[in-house]
Chain A
Amino acid sequence: MDALKLKILEILKEDARRSAELIATMLGTAEAEVARAIKEMEAEKVIVKYATVVNGSKVDDEKVTALIEVQITPERGRGFDAIAERIYLYPEVKSVYLMSGAYDLLVEIEGKTLKEVASFVSNKLSPIDRVLSTKTNFILKKYKQDGIIFEDQEDDHRLLVSP
């Protein structure tokens, strides 16, 4: 990928709402060039989505999130992919990662209640053929997500005017 696209991605990762005009100014390049690069990256699925990072603890309908360690028997010829696909198609599943170490897949589940997550694990995930075991870890508090610290630690502590 060219240097311009990488720089655009850096700027958009900080704030997805930045316009092509603003990015062009920041990079000292033409707006049309930035717009074209963004369009290309969207088409190539380099940019998959423009999302908002929400501090769930400040929202009333806070959700329950669990990280589930799943051990599986890989399938002949397709390894872990087929089983991972079966799991990630469930709408409750936010993310699935193939891991090294003591277990194979790390599955992130989001539900309204503890009960809902538990029932997903026992009724949908565990019964899948080739799933050997699951271990459910509930997230109790999020301190930092996607590089953003949720507490007010990033206040500007500088003097208002200095030499």
Chain B
Amino acid sequence: MIKEEPTVRQAKSMKEYLAPAVRSIPPSGIRKFFDLVSNSKEDIISLGVGEPDFSTPWHVREAAVRSLEQGKTKYSPNSGIPELREAIAEYLHNSFQVTYEPSDEVLVTVGGSEAIDLALRALITPGDEILIPEPCYISYSPITSISGGKAVGIETFAKDQFKLTEQSLRAAITPKSKILILCYPSNPTGGIMTYEDWLPIARVVEEHDLIVISDEIYAELTYGYKHVSFASMPGMKDRTILVSGFSKAFAMTGWRMGYACGHSELISAMLKIHQYTVMCAPVMGQVAAHEALKHGLEEKDRMMESYNQRRRLVVKGFREVGLECHEPQGAFYAFPSIVATGMTSEQFAERLLYEAKVAAVPGHVFGLGGEGFLRCSYAYSVSQLNEALERIGQFLKKL
């Protein structure tokens, strides 16, 4: 008797299994450019990274090693080890005059990115509009879509030093607007907001009953200006989820240590998602972060001084080779305009890569207002920066 083969139902195309929200997200422009750069094997000077060139301060690394030696390898409380939450609250109070209760207004997360994701997931009802000043960090818009929200970009301009203005914010608001995501000092523009810049924005936020997610990951990296936390503006603390982390100020990108602070009810909602997804941030990272806050501020100042020196060098360098460049007052990026060359930022970045062996990120990947610019990180050694500027100068001469 012939045995009948059981019929096996073929899986659909894998794409069809994907959640529509994920399927509809276009691939990241930065990813595409990363692939281009990685496939180009020759001697490339990259100005493309969004992370410090310093290693995590030695005493911070030692604290983590010590914690491992002591066997601190178990889960921590979901919201983070109490000493770290206290240190975060103390630091925010001392540095930015904003006061949080460590027990229920501070949540330690896996990088600032997780904090933003949690905030969006905790707040968004499908269809809500999320206002995002652009050019901005590339993740805000996609994670908004994943959470079911609709990202609404608000273009900012070089002539305003990429500040968010009251007028453009008002123009973008509709009855569906719910959240405003802020990121100052800004990746990719290096723009900052002063107290006077924030005042009218806070008024609009109050008028329209918005919640603000304020990503202040670059707060420690400002040059000649003291960072003003949006949460410290009158009446804004309870409307704001302050997001930050240790990556940029303490050169700890790989540790993935971040935090969110805000009204206890918002933090408690975020904690629910956090505890069911990641449980808690890695404990050795939390120990390291605690050490960084307690004893690393001097080291941070040393790094900042070094960034400042390089900032002056690249801004002058770009201007000398004929690229208009607004003066960034924060973060570690210069954002020169390449409009005068007549090329799109993607064309320019690709030709610069292939013909001059310099990698920089085309501005359009950062959203509205990014076209016509190039993001150039200056978290590189002075000799690398000089070489890159020399190559860019030669490249421009040949155009």
Point out residues on A near B: beta carbons under 8 Å.
11, 14-15, 18, 22, 25-28, 156, 158-163
- What is the chain A residue whose CB lies nearest that of B28? A163
| Residue numbers in A under 8 Å from B34 (CB-CB) | 159-162
Binds A, one of B48-56, B93-101, B201-209: B48-56
CA distance A26 to B312 in the complex (A): 6
Query: 13 A-B pairs, CB-CB below 8 angstroms?
Result: A26-B309, A26-B312, A26-B382, A27-B312, A156-B53, A158-B51, A159-B34, A159-B49, A161-B33, A162-B30, A162-B48, A163-B50, A163-B187
- Within 8 Å by CB of A160, from B38, B309, B310, B386, lies B38
| Residue numbers in B under 8 Å from A11 (CB-CB) | 309
| Residue numbers in A under 8 Å from B382 (CB-CB) | 14-15, 18, 22, 26
Contact between chains at A161 and B37 (CB < 8 Å): yes
Contact between chains at B46 and A161 (CB < 8 Å): yes
How far, in Å, is B248 (CB) from chain A's closest CB?
Answer: 12
Contact between chains at B46 and A160 (CB < 8 Å): yes
| Residue numbers in B under 8 Å from A18 (CB-CB) | 382
CA distance A26 to B267 in the complex (A): 42
Point out residues on B near A: beta carbons under 8 Å.
28, 30, 33-34, 37-38, 44, 46, 48-51, 53, 137-139, 187, 309-310, 312-313, 316, 359, 361, 382-383, 386
Known: A160-B38, A160-B49, A163-B28. 9 other contacts (CB 8 A): A14-B382, A15-B382, A15-B383, A25-B313, A160-B37, A160-B46, A160-B359, A162-B50, A163-B30
- What is the chain B residue whose CB lies nearest that of A156? B53
Contact between chains at B309 and A27 (CB < 8 Å): yes
| Residue numbers in B under 8 Å from A156 (CB-CB) | 53
CA distance A15 to B313 in the complex (A): 15
| Residue numbers in A under 8 Å from B383 (CB-CB) | 15
CA distance A32 to B41 in the complex (A): 42
* Dominant SS among interface residues on chain A: loop
| Residue numbers in B under 8 Å from A25 (CB-CB) | 312-313, 316
CA distance A161 to B310 in the complex (A): 19
Contact between chains at B361 and A161 (CB < 8 Å): yes
Contact between chains at B309 and A161 (CB < 8 Å): no
Known: A15-B383, A25-B316. A162 touches B49 (CB 8 A): yes
How far, in Å, is A14 (CB) from chain B's closest CB?
Answer: 8
| Residue numbers in A under 8 Å from B309 (CB-CB) | 11, 26-27
- What is the chain A residue whose CB lies nearest that of B380? A156
How far, in Å, is A163 (CB) from chain B's closest CB?
Answer: 5
CA distance A155 to B273 in the complex (A): 39
CA distance A160 to B361 in the complex (A): 10
Known: A15-B383, A18-B382, A26-B382. A161 touches B312 (CB 8 A): no
Known: A11-B309, A18-B382. A163 touches B137 (CB 8 A): yes
Contact between chains at A163 and B44 (CB < 8 Å): no
| Residue numbers in A under 8 Å from B359 (CB-CB) | 160-161
How far, in Å, is B54 (CB) from chain A's closest CB?
Answer: 11
Known: A15-B383, A158-B51, A158-B53. A163 touches B139 (CB 8 A): yes
Known: A161-B37, A161-B49, A162-B50. A28 touches B312 (CB 8 A): yes
- Could you say which of A18, A25, A161 has the most chain B C-beta atoms within 10 Å of its C-beta? A161
CA distance A163 to B137 in the complex (A): 7
- What is the chain A residue whose CB lies nearest that of B310? A26
| Residue numbers in A under 8 Å from B386 (CB-CB) | 22
CA distance A48 to B139 in the complex (A): 52
- What is the chain A residue whose CB lies nearest that of B46? A160
CA distance A158 to B310 in the complex (A): 18
| Residue numbers in A under 8 Å from B44 (CB-CB) | 160
CA distance A54 to B394 in the complex (A): 32
- What is the chain B residue whose CB lies nearest that of A26? B309
How far, in Å, is A1 (CB) from chain B's closest CB?
Answer: 17
CA distance A159 to B320 in the complex (A): 28
How far, in Å, is A10 (CB) from chain B's closest CB?
Answer: 9
CA distance A26 to B49 in the complex (A): 21
How far, in Å, is B340 (CB) from chain A's closest CB?
Answer: 23
- Could you say which of A27, A158, A159 has the most chain B C-beta atoms within 10 Å of its C-beta? A158
CA distance A158 to B48 in the complex (A): 10
CA distance A163 to B37 in the complex (A): 14
